[in-house]
Amino acid sequence: MRSIILFFAFILMLGTTSCATRVVTRPATVTVIKTAPANYKIVKVRGKRYYFWNGNHYRKTRRGFVLVRI
């Protein structure tokens, strides 16, 4: 009886191990603009504030404005 329990425990341990391989992705390129131009517009999308100019949306950060895709 004990050997059967140990056998099933061993099978369960083998079944729960991960077979996934490591996936490495490249970091995305980030475009940071230090100051916004005078003709920007503030747009709210899903409750978040974005700055829109030149056909692109930007988020305000400590370093400046970061280009984002919405």
Distance CA 57, CA 19 (A): 40
Give 32-50 pLDDT, tens digit per residue.
899 988 899 999 999 999 9
Residue 6 pLDDT? 81
Domain boundaries, the chain: 2-68
DSSP label at 58? Answer: E
**Token pair for 60:** 């305000």
Give 4-35 pLDDT, tens digit per residue.
888 877 777 766 666 667 777 777 788 889 99
Count CB neighbours of 57 within 10 A: 17
**Token pair for 25:** 């992705």
The confidence band for 70, taking pLDDT boundaries of 50, 70 and 90, is confident
User: How far does the chain reach from its first CA to its final CA, in angstroms?
Assistant: 60
